Structure 1
């Protein structure tokens, strides 16, 4: 039944996609982020829904009327530069066959990220994009939260198998990034029942993140909550809610969970932490030796044998920073970090320009909540290999659309008093000459 439902939704959306590329983007985000086909049990698990939607969206973008270019913003050009650099490093990859397979996957993600920036144009499009992200990830948050309650926190929460967020640490970070977006919708939704539903989804998603037993997730949610409190105009109220909710959530979790979280400070004797550090040092040594890095898919025994302090402990990077460093060198890391900085600055500019203006209050709220999500991603991503996770790129696309909307809506500058007087005299002189 689930397989049939997903199939009907996808193929039923094709006429709408061909009419409006923004619909295609929303469908693509739903398929790629939620992976609804993985929740079925039959043919839908392997059917190429993403390919069908991607082709229809690209066709719609070609034939659709209206502006189609990329937004002329610094983050756009830097994203293009990062994509170009990844293509260059792939030419010098240590393992060409494996690198090509990953390159093919990453380039599809980057292509659709650029398409998202081209198709998402209006406030309605932005709002719908946030809703799709929230529903797609909130589904696993609510499901995982209920599972944590039913199991008493004794079992770990996992994401959809075979996806970016299948790992317990990855689903925790994804849910943490989603909570601020839920809060944005809560602030900008007039329906009371929907606000209550979003409140429940936020609590269950936080509980699911804790139920994943992710230590990096705990650090990420702490950093995100601290940022949201700092940015809040009602610090006392938010601080009181957090002070009441956090102890209740922590007390609910069993001793096994507390023991694992306590191991954060004992990384010297933790095998998992030492494996990560070994992989980080390998990536650093590789980047020092090779200007272009190792290309995609470098976590191979031969690489560790040459560059790692412990050549027998072969691990994935488990860090967005060391992953991009090892795969694309110091230039790639600089481009990736600068892309994050420019996205952050774009959000800050939106929040600053929208402050105190009723018509842009929603934009300022969205920008601040995206910043909270990025804080969570920056902290939690330090322990996960999620450089190519598509959700941060969709958030950047949403911010780019808002920034362009604000820029295009600016009123024409008022000329100085002297200029206005001179213009008035010129107009009167013209009128007299016409009268003569």
Structure 2
């Protein structure tokens, strides 16, 4: 799509600025201001989208008022060009702002596409369809690239080798023992005979071997062997006892190694888990589809009224998949709902009746709670979830306010399959509009 949204609206005759390029420039500036505001507050993406879709958007809607203020800031005399509130211009500006913001923030893209897939089939203005189709397809393709990447399962998982810096460990320290030579000498002399000669005191008794080898060689050998062996053994034992071996302290390096191994294994498991998340998710969804059991209702979908079961299916699938999910997920939901008895006839009901059922059905309390967490009470144009999540709000059940608050005609109808897809898309769009952390903002260069 080479032309800007505003220019395409102009070329299709949907807005008229009297052929004045300066006025078109002012519209473009106002649309950029709205895009900047949307980037600051992505939560407005859903309301921006729902007003942009509707040629009959109410003039007093808060988003219309905000867009008019942006136009007034850039084009003070715009009222001289338009005889009434220029809803077509406002819608074109909002769409242009959504396209610009979606280029930078994938959350805006998810919110816009999910809302568009619900609203556009009911768009009455045929001369706008080509513009909307181009915009939706372009943004959906961009979001799907990211979603498919997050759901993909690689053929192999590459794990980097563990790196470990060997610590410097002190060498083993050995302190040798020594033999007491004087003591060993005295004991050896005692083993050798009864006496020895001392240069200072003369002959002295050894107190050991009482035989000389000349007189009693046999007895002498016996005593010499016994006493000398004991002397040498005692000397060796004493020397060994004095040897000291100082072990290096390995507790620090071993603790560090354990931490690094633990961290490496943890990172490896995370890498494998992340790489196979898509496969695990698909496996879980296939089990869910085959079991046809609702985690929120705690019973089989077949045991519930068909439209109630369809609403539960939308919520259960929403709880199982991430914000960025490929378009095929909605097709998966459609095929799952078609397994329910009663869907083959294709019977439909008024959307207002389906909303009332969701407001009152006891088993759909979980849907009401999720809707209340994601969407505020009805205040200007918003999703059906605003009415479902806040059933006690003064305008949540007002018949005359239904189309004003939702943009959905009071007589619009849906079958169970379309109802499930509608709720799922609104849950995804509302999550994208309210979630400020799960999606990374990406620059236009990215």
Does TM, scored on the shorter chain, surpass 0.5? no
Structure of greater Rg: 2
TM-score, normalization: structure 2? 0.26
Question: Structure 1 or 2: larger helix share?
Answer: 1
TM-score, normalization: structure 1? 0.26
